[in-house]
């Protein structure tokens, strides 16, 4: 996931190969640093009111000295200015109020940060990476002959996509049966999507894409946060991704089979950027609510959520270790996101989420050392239990996905749980030695924005990759870039792509495209997944983390794999 998901709590943070955290990779629960206001200082809040109690709530807000700026009747909350923490606590005493959350940046995407001394051998550089591109050049469009060759042999970098082979997304597999329809809209709620990348552009729907965040160059202490404002009002266009996480996710879902780079699970679908994550990889509550509501209103069929909403890795509405204001903040996150998810699902959106990169049994959590991840430095050890929720992975109506490595072993970083794991998918794992693959080749390769790679110093001034985590594919003197990443953020887009194939096949005309109820998509996803049982020993002990993870449940539904490993070929050939 991305920083919202363990800084990636929402979005799964990918593991950068060679022990370096990929720039912009998001980790659940972490958000940008913002100082808390002084007791008498006015702050902005999202105040969630009980069903049918809007008038009472607005009265309580005004009586407490708050100023109502706006009301969102769809999700049942008011945007309010009020005099500091004491104001929030007073509101919590009203029976009409169910949550009061600071309107700050509170979320991130999830890519897995490197932990421990993981040795990553170098990968040989293929001939396609030899020629250097001109500064800022984009690859030429694929020729008809390139596209025709790709249909039978795959794209130039397909040989590196063990993940697609694992789920049957190959020229001899699902690509020959159903690649997904342009009428199916897959929303990527993430850090943005590079809509100009040659392996994204053919399937990118710029008209429907939106950006719900504004860049913040610096935090309240003057430290660099999102970097300089490149566009008017610090708001990036809807085809920009300065982080790279969202582009990687979108590429895995639907990069076209076009003779360039890689191909996605569903290379024929439409990709819609619904940006809720910042350049620095944080996901805050308000943009997440806006993104989910928009998905419902815009007729999006599937959304991928590789993030969690900061600042709490686990949201506990009644934890005695937290202050009353903190309890209200967490209750607001749980309530607000659930309402937004219900709204989107009620409007036909299938909800797919990364499970998280905390290496935790979510059914039996005991401690949370990462919260609150915002403001920076606020983290403390908390004793928690299963009443505390990882949002949105543990929210109702969401299909949550764990990650596996190339041998199908549950990835060491992946969260798990018999209640929480719905499906499994390839997410990459540099420590999985169960195949002949080495180092970075054990991760997931997908498209990456040139500008983000240059900013992260993953390519040099001439355009040459500086390490094995980046691959360059060149045609006619122009090149595009691809990056190896690991995380549950990388796993969930595989499930989103398979869901898109199912909607393409079984959806009926509606909402301007094809429509299939989320409940039916879920049934078909589970029915077409490959059942994978728990390890024969019942557990796995990971040398990289020195942790023992216990797998519980039968082959039909267990804590590591849920209902099974997603299978694109079975989805493309299944009977209704």
Which helix (DSSP H) or strand (DSSP E) does residue 481 occupy?
strand 478-485
What contacts 60, CB < 8 A, 6 or more positions away?
91, 94, 96, 97
- CA nearest neighbour of 415 among 395, 434, 401: 401
Strands of 77-82's sheet in order across: 67-72, 77-82, 43-49, 97-102
The strand pair at 367-371 and 380-383 is best described as antiparallel
Residue 230 near residue 172, CB atoms below 8 Å: no
Q: Is 563 a catalytic residue?
A: no
What contacts 359, CB < 8 A, 6 or more positions away?
412, 413, 414, 415, 542, 545, 547, 549
Quote the CA–CA distance of 53 and 97 in Å, as a whole number. Answer: 8
18 CB neighbour count, 10 Å cutoff: 18
Break the chain down into helix, strand, coil percent, rounded to 5.
25, 20, 55
Cis preceding-peptide flag for 519 (omega within 30 of 0): no
φ, ψ (nearest 5 deg) of residue 387: -80, -15
Quote the CA–CA distance of 212 and 246 in Å, as a whole number. Answer: 14
The strand pair at 185-189 and 108-109 is best described as unpaired
Residue 303 near residue 337, CB atoms below 8 Å: no
Torsion 284-17-186-497 (CA) sign: negative
Quote the CA–CA distance of 495 and 469 in Å, as a whole number. Answer: 24
Task: Report the 3 state secondary structure along 360-388.
Answer: CECCCCCEEEEECECCCCCCEEEECCCCC
Query: One of 190, 226, 301, 370 is an active-site residue; which one?
Result: 190
Q: Is 245 a catalytic residue?
A: yes
Query: One of 489, 494, 549, 563 is an active-site residue; which one?
Result: 489
Quote the CA–CA distance of 34 and 573 in Å, as a whole number. Answer: 50
Quote the CA–CA distance of 339 and 367 in Å, as a whole number. Answer: 27
Q: Is 475 a catalytic residue?
A: no
Quote the CA–CA distance of 198 and 263 in Å, as a whole number. Answer: 12
Nearest 5 degrees, angle CA 368-CA 372-CA 376? 125
Quote the CA–CA distance of 451 and 470 in Å, as a whole number. Answer: 13
Query: One of 72, 102, 243, 245 is an active-site residue; which one?
Result: 245
What stretches of 75-151 adopt beta strand conformation (E)?
A: 77-82, 97-102, 108-109
Strands of 350-354's sheet in order across: 210-211, 270-275, 185-189, 302-305, 350-354, 399-404, 423-426
- CA nearest neighbour of 271 among 229, 236, 300, 235: 300
Q: What amino acid positions are annotated as catalytic residues?
A: 190, 245, 489
């Amino acid at each position: 996931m991305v920083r919202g998901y363990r800084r990636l709590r929402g979005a799964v943070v990918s593991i950068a190969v060679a022990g370096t955290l990929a720039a912009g990779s998001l980790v659940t629960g972490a958000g940008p640093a913002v100082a808390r206001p002084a007791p008498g200082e006015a702050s902005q809040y999202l105040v969630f009111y009980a069903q049918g109690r809007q008038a009472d709530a607005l009265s309580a807000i005004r009586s407490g000295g708050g100023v109502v700026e706006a009301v969102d009747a769809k999700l049942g909350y008011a945007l309010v200015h009020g005099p500091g923490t004491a104001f929030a606590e007073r509101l919590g005493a009203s029976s009409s109020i169910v949550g009061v959350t600071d309107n700050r940046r509170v979320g991130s995407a999830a890519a897995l940060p490197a932990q421990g001394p993981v040795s990553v051998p170098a990968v040989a550089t293929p001939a396609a990476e030899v020629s250097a591109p001109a500064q800022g050049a984009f690859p030429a469009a694929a020729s008809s002959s390139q596209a025709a060759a790709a249909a039978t042999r795959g794209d130039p970098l397909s040989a590196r996509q063990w993940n697609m082979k694992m789920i049957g997304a190959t020229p001899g597999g699902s690509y020959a049966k159903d690649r997904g329809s342009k009428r199916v809209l897959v929303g990527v709620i993430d850090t943005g999507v590079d809509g100009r990348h040659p392996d994204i552009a053919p399937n990118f729907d710029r008209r429907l894409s939106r950006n719900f965040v504004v860049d913040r160059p610096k935090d309240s202490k003057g430290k660099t946060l999102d970097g300089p404002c490149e566009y008017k009002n610090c708001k990036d266009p809807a085809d920009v991704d300065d982080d790279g996480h969202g582009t990687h996710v979108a590429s895995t879902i639907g990069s076209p089979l076009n003779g360039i780079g890689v191909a996605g699970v569903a290379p024929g679908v439409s990709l819609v950027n619904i940006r809720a994550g910042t350049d620095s990889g944080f996901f805050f509550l308000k943009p997440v609510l806006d993104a989910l509501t928009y998905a419902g209103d815009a007729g999006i069929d599937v959304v991928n959520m590789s993030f969690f909403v900061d600042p709490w890795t686990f949201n506990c509405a009644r934890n005695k270790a937290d202050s009353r204001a903190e309890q209200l903040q967490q209750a607001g996150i749980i309530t607000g996101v659930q309402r937004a998810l219900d709204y989107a699902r009620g409007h036909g959106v299938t909800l797919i989420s990364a499970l998280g990169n905390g290496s935790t049994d979510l059914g039996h959590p005991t401690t949370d050392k990462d919260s609150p991840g915002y403001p920076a430095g606020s983290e403390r050890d908390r004793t928690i239990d299963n009443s505390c929720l990882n949002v949105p992975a543990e929210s109702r109506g969401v299909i949550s996905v764990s990650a596996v490595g190339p041998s199908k072993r549950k990835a060491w970083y992946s969260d798990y749980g018999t209640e929480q794991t719905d499906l499994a998918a390839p997410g990459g794992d540099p420590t999985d030695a169960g195949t002949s693959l080495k180092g970075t080749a054990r991760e997931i390769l997908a498209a990456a924005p040139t500008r983000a790679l240059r900013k992260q110093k993953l390519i040099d001034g001439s355009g040459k990759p500086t390490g094995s985590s980046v691959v360059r594919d060149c045609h006619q003197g122009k090149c595009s870039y691809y990056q190896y990443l690991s995380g549950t953020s990388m796993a969930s887009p595989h499930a989103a792509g398979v869901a898109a194939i199912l909607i393409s096949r079984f959806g009926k005309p509606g909402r301007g495209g094809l429509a299939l109820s989320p409940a039916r998509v879920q049934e078909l996803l589970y029915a077409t997944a490959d059942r994978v049982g728990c390890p024969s020993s019942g557990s796995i002990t990971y040398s990289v983390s020195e942790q023992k993870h216990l797998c519980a449940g039968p082959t039909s539904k267990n804590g590591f794999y849920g209902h099974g490993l997603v299978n694109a070929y079975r989805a493309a050939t299944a009977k209704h």
